[in-house]
Amino acid sequence: MTRPAFATWLSDTNDVTQTFLAAGQIPGLINLAGGLPDPVTWPVDDLSKLAAKAVANHPAEALAYAPIDGLPILRDLIAARFSVPGLTLTRDNVLITTGGMQALDLIGKALLEQGSLVATQSPAYLGAFDAWRPRLPRYRAMILEADDFDPVQTLAEAQFAYTVPNFSNPSGRLVSLAQRQALVGAAHRTGTWLVEDDPYGTLYYDGAPLPRMLTLSGQQGGHPYDGPVIYLGTLSKELAPGFRIGWVIAAPEMIAALVTAKQGSDMSTSGLCQRIAHDAISTGLTDRVLPGILDLYRTRRDALCAAMAAHLSDLFDWEVPSGGMFVWASARDSRLNTDDLLQVAMAHGVCVSPSSVFDPEGLNRRSIRVNFTLNDPETMIEGTRRLAVAAREVLSREV
């Protein structure tokens, strides 16, 4: 008796996410690899009360199957929150998803056949590759910072372009206003959908937020919004990940396709979690906790960069990010393979993310992504010290 073969794409996965998860079980290991919030930022008492009230006062929303596209009150709230002068959104522009990740899965289902072309910012979020792998797409890299970057040529013939304009995962890079305008212009000209994945859009530590591409594209659009941007938001970074609440804002025809995909994916997102999300936003709870989150993470960003300057400046180059959750550092010596570094670093009790997992072709082996939101400064100082020891060990083997 032989069992049926698993689908082809399953043999194409990398096991880095599993390695990271296993790392969480190793006593004493310092985890600078993930993208987790510090639980101290969660308003536990407020959320406990909201959870109780959601069930007691709104059982028909909290305990029933929610509509596939989400609770109308939450869709209306998201539409209002993201409407600005020049961009008018209605509930027909909004789909509630089970976390931001589900939006990526639904986009893949709605737009990709096997071998379809996707243009992605490079390096790019490994979770997006996870989401699209079952459709086995081809990737075209968008190197936004390259002198010869041509947005129209890059977007042409792609089903969609994938970007994280605010503090991109993994690079921490902020896409400039001029580049945002160029991408929106190219999307209008080519017809290609432009995915604006924005989990870190509230995490600006040093200045005022740049306009969203959604907003920039709306100024040419009608009502309801009918432009090329597919905007993805999430409650995970603003409040807490455990609710698994995200949202898509897009043209009604795109929302309708994603709703059909969601119908066969999980039917609907938890009504309880949607009601809590609505109440947390509408009562101002998310706005009240944000300043504390920004103060904490700004301090930690500075602490990590200071620790890196002390321990890693002869080994890596990096730019200080003005927001988000990560510092992206590239080895000065091209012989420092960061896949090897991960293995050695784990033996030394520290874990970072190697660049290979953020490259659809797995070719970039020279960089690391370092998180600064989860650990206190002392832990990050010790982590960077261990990382320096590990990097020297890897290099000494190469000599």
Please report, as residue ranges, which positions from 84 to 143 form the binding site for a second copy (by CB under 8 A): 98-99, 101-102, 104-105, 109-114, 127, 130-134
- Contacting residue, 64, 146, 177, 310, with a second copy by CB under 8 A: 64
Q: How far is the CB of 80 from a second copy (least distance, A)?
A: 22
Q: Which two tokens stand for residue 174?
A: 């902020």
Residue 142 near residue 124, CB atoms below 8 Å: no
Q: How near is the Cβ of 211 to a second copy at its closest, in Å?
A: 22
Least distance CB 6 / a second copy (angstroms):
5
52 binds a second copy (CB under 8 A): yes
Task: State the nearest-atom distance from the C-beta of 7 to a second copy, in Å.
Answer: 6
Q: Which of residues 180-199 bind a second copy (CB under 8 A)?
A: 188-193
Q: Which is nearer to a second copy, 176 or 219 (CB)?
A: 219
17 binds a second copy (CB under 8 A): yes
Residue of the chain from 30, 31, 61, 281 that contacts a second copy (CB under 8 A): 61
Nearest to 255 by CA among 65, 61, 64, 70: 70
For a second copy, which stretch binds (CB under 8 A), given 52-60, 84-92, 295-303, 346-354? 52-60
The distance of Cα 176 from the centroid of its chain, to the nearest Å, equals 18
Distance between CA 316 and CA 368 in Å, rounded?
9
Q: Which helix (H) or strand (E) holds 200?
A: none
Angle (CA) 71-97-176 rounded to 5° is 120
* Cα–Cα separations (whole angstroms), residue 32 to 331, 373, 382: 17, 9, 11
User: CB of residue 264 vs a second copy: minimum separation in angstroms?
Assistant: 3
Contact pick of 31, 163, 236, 367 for a second copy (by CB under 8 A)? 236
Burial label, 132 (beta-carbon count in 10 A; 0-12, 13-18, 19+): buried
Residue (of 107, 62, 127) closest to 229 by Cα position: 107
Task: Report the distance separating Cα 94 and Cα 88, nearest Å.
Answer: 12
* 2-10, 78-86, 195-203, 333-341 -> range binding a second copy (CB under 8 A): 2-10
In terms of CB distance, is 240 or 394 closer to a second copy? Answer: 240
Instruction: Give the chain's end-to-end CA distance (angstroms, integer).
Output: 52
Indicate the DSSP class of residue 176.
P
Binding segment for a second copy among 85-93, 233-241, 346-354, 386-394 (CB under 8 A)?
A: 233-241
Question: How far apart are the C-alpha atoms of 219 and 258, rounded to whole Å?
Answer: 24
Residue 56 sits in the site that holds a second copy (CB under 8 A)? yes
Query: Least distance from C-beta 64 to a second copy, angstroms?
Result: 6
In whole angstroms, the minimum distance from the beta carbon of 213 to a second copy comes to 16
Answer yes or no whether residue 244 interacts with a second copy by CB under 8 A: yes
Task: Return the number of other C-beta atoms located less than 10 Å from residue 226's C-beta.
Answer: 16
Smallest distance, a second copy to C-beta of residue 151, A: 15
Q: Does 65 bind a second copy (CB under 8 A)?
A: yes
What residues from 277 to 296 belong to the interface with a second copy (CB under 8 A)?
none
**Nearer Cβ to a second copy, position 199 or 391?**
199
Sign of CA dihedral 12, 17, 21, 24: positive
H or E element, residue 177: helix 177-190
> Which of residues 266 and 302 has its CB atom nearest to a second copy in the complex?
266
- The answer to whether the beta carbons of residues 84 and 123 sit under 8 Å apart is no
